[in-house]
Amino acid sequence: MTLPFAIIAGLTVGSAIAAMSLRNLVHCALSLVLTFAGLAGLYLQLNAEFVGFTQILVYVGAVSILIVFAILLTRSTEPKDEPTTVTPWVGISVAVGAFLTMALAVLASPVGKRIAAPAPEVSVKTLGQKLMTDYVLPLEVMALLLTAAMLGAVIIAMKDKEGSR
Amino acid sequence: MTPLSGYLLVSALLFCIGLAGALTRRNAIMVLIGIELMLNAANLNFIAFWRFSEHPETQTGLMFALFSIAIAAAEAAVGLALSITIYRHFRTANVDKVKDMKG
């Protein structure tokens, strides 16, 4: 375990805990931005530069702005609610159980001790060529999905006019 | 260099934090944030397994992570639009109070 990895991993996990446990929703969104940025750092450490920068563009840039907008638009006018369920320990124990199961599996597996091969040559050019040849059908389906999702989001969130339905 | 298990443990931690948040928080947007965290943990797994695989030059894990990021973006857009509509309709974002379809 190297020091940069420990710092980035600690930052990511800590801000994720903060994002899920803070009471103020805007603070939660800001911690979430830190988590996404930390994940981008982990991708860069793993020599996945393009995915790391995509993570910054899509998550740190777009998704977090979307979340902040949604939080501000739905800011509750009613009195402060209880932020969690009456029995939060049920969900927490389920999560802890899931983590222990996964951690035991990871630590027991011989794959976990594997050391990385020398860094592969991955340029944006080769990625683009793959996207345009081997993965062209998934790419087109993805474009269709994004268009449909965008239209759907606009239609769902559109204010219905009085008497139009 | 950190062994693969380090990345897998971080990813498992992130997944479980997201799971705990999605199960315990009552605000619809916080539930969505928990789901986003779980998706990101899965992405980290893809990248880590790609980097530590025997043939990283095939770039399969990278491609999967890229597509997964695009799908997550679409999911976030639709999910947040839904939660805004729910807020407008019920005047609350608390998922426990939205129970009109409860039998």
Q: Which residues of B touch A115 (CB under 8 A)?
A: 1, 3, 52
B38 and A CB contact within 8 Å = no
B45 and A CB contact within 8 Å = no
B25 and A CB contact within 8 Å = yes
Residue A3: how many other CB atoms lie within 10 Å: 7
- Alpha-carbon distance A17 to B32, whole Å? 15
**CB contact set of B35 (below 8 Å; sequence gap of 6+):** B18, B22, B75, B79
**CB contact set of A73 (below 8 Å; sequence gap of 6+):** B84, B87
Inter-chain contact B66–A51, Cβ cutoff 8 Å? yes
B60, two tokens? 């399969």
Task: Check pLDDT > 60 for residue A164.
Answer: no
A135 and B CB contact within 8 Å = yes
- Classify domain A1-75 by CATH architecture: Up-down Bundle (1.20)
Interval B6-39: pLDDT, tens: 999 999 999 999 999 999 988 889 999 999 999 9
Domains of chain B, residue spans = 4-90
Q: Which residues of B touch A145 (CB under 8 A)?
A: 70-71, 74
Q: What is the pLDDT of residue A163?
A: 47
Protein fold of B4-90: Helix Hairpins (1.10.287)
Query: For the residues A143-153, what does the mean pLDDT come to?
Result: 93
Closest partner CB to B51 (pick from A88, A107, A116): A116
Give the orientation angle of helix A3-21 with respect to helix A25-45, to 10 degrees: 160
For chains A and B, CB pairs below 8 A equal 242
| Biggest CA-to-CA distance, chain A | 65
Inter-chain contact A47–B48, Cβ cutoff 8 Å? no
Distance from the A156 Cα atom to the nearest Cα atom in chain B, whole angstroms: 6
From residue A157, alpha-carbon distances to A52, A72, A132, B80, B82 in Å are 31, 15, 34, 9, 7
Interval A78-134: pLDDT, tens: 556 556 666 788 889 999 999 999 999 999 988 877 777 777 777 889 889 989 999
ipTM of the complex: 0.91
Q: Which residue of A has its CA nearest to B97?
A: A81
B9, two tokens? 């443990």
B62 and A CB contact within 8 Å = yes
A157 and B CB contact within 8 Å = yes
